[in-house]
Structure 1
Amino acid sequence: METSEYQCELDESSNKKAWLELHEDPKERLGAASTLREWVRQQDWLRTPTDDKYLLSFLRARKFSQLGARELLENYWTVRTKLPEWYSDVDPADNKPSEKSFDDVMRANLALFDYLLLDENIQVNGFVFIVDLTGFTRQHFMATGVENSKKCMLVTQKALPGRIKELHYYNTGSVFETIFNLIRPLMSEKLRNRVHVHGQNLTTVYDKIDMSLLPEEYLPDDYEGPKAGCIQDIADNLAKSLLQPKIKKFIVDLHSGKYGVDLSKKSKDSEPQASFRKLNVS
């Protein structure tokens, strides 16, 4: 899965941001990917795709630090290997049951991340999440469980080759407060500072996020500006994109079991080491 035909897809704004914020030099980006690829080839315990575009997502997530990208790549495949209930045998064409388990939801969400991170502009600019907790009850929380919440934090902070810029929670209540108090100690200070809780107030959401980016269901009735469309159309278009042959093949391949880690083969002296002392996947 290696290619020498890489063509940068960054738009002008993202290219400038990559230079200023991520230390990405257009003249050196392929050299950086090549250096990371050579390191991967020396690790017989690590199996991963090694094409330029794929490796650049890890370099961008760690501001082109080779050590940081290696740690993230190790964490990424360690988590995926140890959590097969979320990462194995995923196919965008599968029809999920109407009564979805938490594992089903996570499998779909994490496959969606894999798809979104194919976009180099997303790699550079990062994610802004809006989580609508309308209808979320104590029963939903009990079905999720504390251990799943911990695993989500692990994936989000240690094993996701993407930049999380903001997390917005809307329509929160006492159940959210219970969950957030449990997971807050697991969050880094940087992530905690990027969390915004809006209660039942969409006005404060508008203060943070351009209204043109929101689905029409979240906009005032008198709003007449540009918008992202209705939720169902957005979901339908996304589903169609995931079923494009090239995209579907990529996701199926990534979850096929051919990639991962065998830590029994990993030398204690191999670099990087720091990430695994703190990476606890039960």
Structure 2
Amino acid sequence: MSKHYNKSITPVDEYKFHLCNELEVMAKEELRETNEMRKHAIKAMREWIMKSDRILITRMDAKYLLRFLRFRKFSVPMAMEALERYLVIKQGKYGMGWLDNLDYDKPSILKLIDDGFVFFLPQRDFMGRKIIFYRPGVADPKSPSVGYDVLILLSLVYELVLEDEENQIRGVIHLADAQNIRMPHFTVFSPQYSFRVGKNTEKTLALRHKAFHIVNVHKSINLISDFIMSHMGEKLRKRTHMYSSFDDFKAIERKNLPLEYGGTTSMRTMIESLKKELADNQKISMLLNQTRVNVDKYPKAVLEGSVKSLKYLLNSSEIYEKFKNQDIYGLQGSFRKLEID
């Protein structure tokens, strides 16, 4: 397989399924994954990468390609699209500064970690899914780098999650404590930036989101919450649930929550565990900073993260005809314009 090395930043390996029988059955029933399908799909993706004049360098190890194949239930064209879109956004306007800078070792990001902005619950849910716990209210919206710091940290956390194949198959649960979130938190990025990043990552972040639970939503941000919900995809919207307090939240056993929320393990223990995982995974995360596409091969709309451009496959000629003469600079990010772009 040495022919693949000139575009791969990781070893190009032969894959052998090593997970338990339960996950093998789940992968087949939910994702259409079989030994034959997996072998064919990985081979097809590698050959496509090698032939592409747009993709210059990426990871080509089997586990990495499988995250996109499982995300798209082994539709090879859609997995290719998700991978390429991910690589493109890293070098486009809305990914530069965070997706191309996956390094947590800076004081402002370490403070977010130490303050408990995000961490993993030690126990999975009743269906074996990993639970990511968020406390966005601890972030200081006045900090000049808070926006990029949050995006870098979350990207690193999701990379950790996706390095575990069990999470690729089972999916994840998101649980957020919205305590102390107020209007200033929503002004860190412009509406246009938030909307485009959200829509692009929805298409490219290869996580199987099984549920979003948001607790302690203050009435002062209900209008913004409703607006965000209205712009989610239908599937994500149906999987999002809001609660006024943790007393009303029953989806996860109370004993599995942090000690400070009625559980048995302290937040500090969970935070230190995350820090160790980030350190252990840093070499792989830093490798991702090396991925490259030929930006000259894409229409400006694609590099700008235009939501309209997401309707067209990058492998089709239609997108290049549609946007070849279109200038999308100058949008002001109003709510009205967000709805049409």
The two structures have a TM-score, normalised by structure 1, of 0.84
After TM superposition, the structure 1 stretch with the greater mean CA deviation from structure 2, 162-171 or 90-99, is 90-99
> Which residue of structure 2 aligns with residue 224 of structure 1?
none
Q: Structure 1 unaligned segments of length 5 or more: list them.
A: 221-226
> Which residue of structure 1 aligns with residue 63 of structure 2?
53
Q: Tell me if the contact between 1:114 and 1:251 (Cα under 8 Å) persists in the aligned partners.
A: yes
> Which residue of structure 1 aligns with residue 23 of structure 2?
14
Q: Tell me if the contact between 1:48 and 1:260 (Cα under 8 Å) persists in the aligned partners.
A: yes
Question: How far is the alpha carbon of 1:152 from its aligned partner?
Answer: 4.0
Q: Tell me if the contact between 1:242 and 1:248 (Cα under 8 Å) persists in the aligned partners.
A: yes
Question: How far is the alpha carbon of 1:272 from its aligned partner?
Answer: 4.5
Task: Sort the Cα spacing of 1:67 and 1:5 in 2 relative to 1 into closer, same or farther, 3 A.
Answer: closer
1:182 aligns with 2:227: yes
Give deviations 1:31-74, integer Å, cap 9, x for gaps.
Answer: 31111111111112113211111000000000000111011112
Question: How far is the alpha carbon of 1:270 from its aligned partner?
Answer: 6.8
* Separation of aligned partners in 2, 1:154 and 1:5: 34
* Separation of aligned partners in 2, 1:53 and 1:116: 12
* Separation of aligned partners in 2, 1:150 and 1:71: 20
After TM superposition, the structure 1 stretch with the greater mean CA deviation from structure 2, 43-52 or 62-71, is 43-52
* Separation of aligned partners in 2, 1:76 and 1:40: 14
Give deviations 1:57-100, integer Å, cap 9, x for gaps.
Answer: 00000000011101111211121221112212322333336545
Aligned length: 268
1:75 aligns with 2:107: no
Q: What percent identity do the matched residue pairs reach?
A: 27
> Which residue of structure 2 aligns with residue 86 of structure 1?
98
Structure 2 SS opposite 1:80 = helix
* Separation of aligned partners in 1, 2:272 and 2:319: 38
Which residues of 2 match residues 118-267 of structure 1 at below 5 A? 118-200=163-245, 202-206=246-250, 208-211=251-254, 213-219=256-262, 229-244=265-280, 247-255=281-289, 258-265=290-297
Structure 1 SS opposite 2:106 = coil
Corresponding residue to 1:24 among 8, 27, 33: 33
> Which residue of structure 2 aligns with residue 107 of structure 1?
152
Question: How far is the alpha carbon of 1:263 from its aligned partner?
Answer: 4.1
Q: Tell me if the contact between 2:101 and 2:152 (Cα under 8 Å) persists in the aligned partners.
A: no
Structure 1 SS opposite 2:108 = coil
1:35 aligns with 2:44: yes
Task: Sort the Cα spacing of 1:149 and 1:270 in 2 relative to 1 into closer, same or farther, 3 A.
Answer: closer
Task: Give the partner amino acid of 2:227.
Answer: L
Task: Sort the Cα spacing of 1:56 and 1:174 in 2 relative to 1 into closer, same or farther, 3 A.
Answer: same
Q: Tell me if the contact between 1:72 and 1:158 (Cα under 8 Å) persists in the aligned partners.
A: yes
* Separation of aligned partners in 1, 2:219 and 2:317: 40
Question: How far is the alpha carbon of 1:187 from its aligned partner?
Answer: 1.1
The two structures have a TM-score, normalised by structure 2, of 0.71
Question: How far is the alpha carbon of 1:162 from its aligned partner?
Answer: 1.1
Structure 2 SS opposite 1:196 = strand
Structure 2 SS opposite 1:10 = coil
Question: How far is the alpha carbon of 1:266 from its aligned partner?
Answer: 5.5
> Which residue of structure 1 aligns with residue 107 of structure 2?
95
1:117 aligns with 2:151: no
Q: Tell me if the contact between 2:27 and 2:33 (Cα under 8 Å) persists in the aligned partners.
A: yes
Structure 1 SS opposite 2:175 = strand
After TM superposition, the structure 1 stretch with the greater mean CA deviation from structure 2, 14-23 or 92-101, is 92-101
* Separation of aligned partners in 2, 1:219 and 1:269: 47
